[in-house]
Amino acid sequence: MPSAHHVGSPSPAQAAYSTTPGRSRNMAAIRRTDTKPEIVLRRALHARGKRYRKDFPIRTGGKLIRPDIAFTRLRIAVFVDGCFWHSCPKHGQRPKNNTEYWSPKLARNVERDRLQTALLQDAGWTVIRFWEHESTDDMVSVVVRTIRMAEKRGR
C-alpha cells in the first residue's frame, strides 16, 4: 500500500470550498502533508542542535542532486525516500492498475536513486538513505553517529 502522504489528500482549494464538518477533516489532512517524514527528521535534528541545509543543490557528474538534508562542511547527504515512489521492499507494492505506466516510472526512480548515491559518493559525500517508514529516533541516531564519525575524521 502506498504510504499516507502519497495518497491524495485534498488540495487547499478543495478544502476552502468545503463546509463543516468535512472542513476540519480536510484541514487535518492538509496539516498531515506538512509533516512529511523528512520534515519531522529535520525538526528532530534541529532540536539536537544540528544545522543543515535543506534541498541543497549539488552539481556532480552532470546532474543536479538535492538531498533532503545536507551537512555541507562534513559532506553528508541524507535522503528520506518515500516507500511507494522509491519501491521500499516492505511497502513499495506496484499498483495493479496501469502497470505499463507505473512499472517503468518506479523503476526509473530506483535507478535514479542508485545513480545519485553513486555520483555523490564519487564526489566524496557520505550518503544516508532512509525509508520514510523508519522511526525518527532511529534516523536521528544514524545521522548523529555519522556526523560524529565525520568530525572525528577531521573533515
* Interacting residue ranges for Zn ion, rule: CB under 5 A: 83, 88, 90-91, 131, 133
Q: In angstroms, what is the minimal distance from the CB of 139 to Zn ion? A: 13
Nearer to Zn ion, 25 or 133 (CB): 133
Nearer to Zn ion, 6 or 91 (CB): 91
Nearer to Zn ion, 60 or 87 (CB): 87
Q: In angstroms, what is the minimal distance from the CB of 3 to Zn ion? A: 7
DSSP assignment of the chain, as one string?
A: ---GGGS----HHHHHH--TTHHHHHHHHHHHHHS-HHHHHHHHHHHTT---EES--EEETTEEE--SEEETTTTEEEEEE-TTTTT-TTT-PPPSSSHHHHHHHHHHHHHHHHHHHHHHHHTT-EEEEEETTS-HHHHHHHHHHHHHHHHHTT-
Q: In angstroms, what is the minimal distance from the CB of 107 to Zn ion? A: 17
Nearer to Zn ion, 18 or 136 (CB): 136
Q: In angstroms, what is the minimal distance from the CB of 2 to Zn ion? A: 10
